[in-house]
Amino acid sequence: MIERRTDHITRKRVSEMSPEDMRRALLVSEKTGLPNRRAFDEGKAVPWVAMADVNGLKALNDHHGYAAGDVLIQRIAHVLLEVKLDAYHNQGDEFLCKGESFQELNKKLLTAQEILRNQPFAVRSINDLIAEIKGASFCYGIGTNLAEAEKSLKSQKEIRRQLENDKV
Among 7-11, 131-135, 159-163, whose mean pLDDT is lowest? 7-11
Q: Could you tell me which residue, 126 or 56, shows the higher pLDDT?
A: 56
**Domain range summary for the chain, segments of one domain joined by +:** 28-167
Residue pLDDT, tens place only, 127-139: 888 989 999 999 9
CB 152 within 8 A of CB 142: yes
| Whether the predicted pLDDT of 23 surpasses 70 | no
Q: Which residue pairs, CB below 8 angstroms and at least 24 apart, start in 125-134? A: 125/63, 125/64, 125/65, 125/68, 126/64, 126/65, 131/64, 131/68, 133/60, 133/68, 133/72
Distance, first Cα to last Cα, the chain: 63
CB 87 within 8 A of CB 81: yes
| Whether the predicted pLDDT of 5 surpasses 60 | no
- What CATH class has 28-167? alpha beta
One-letter amino acid of 48 = W
Whole-model pTM: value is 0.82
CB 141 within 8 A of CB 154: yes
Residue pLDDT, tens place only, 52-98: 999 999 999 999 999 999 999 999 999 999 999 999 999 999 999 99
Instruction: Give dist(CA 79, CA 52) in Å, integer.
Output: 13
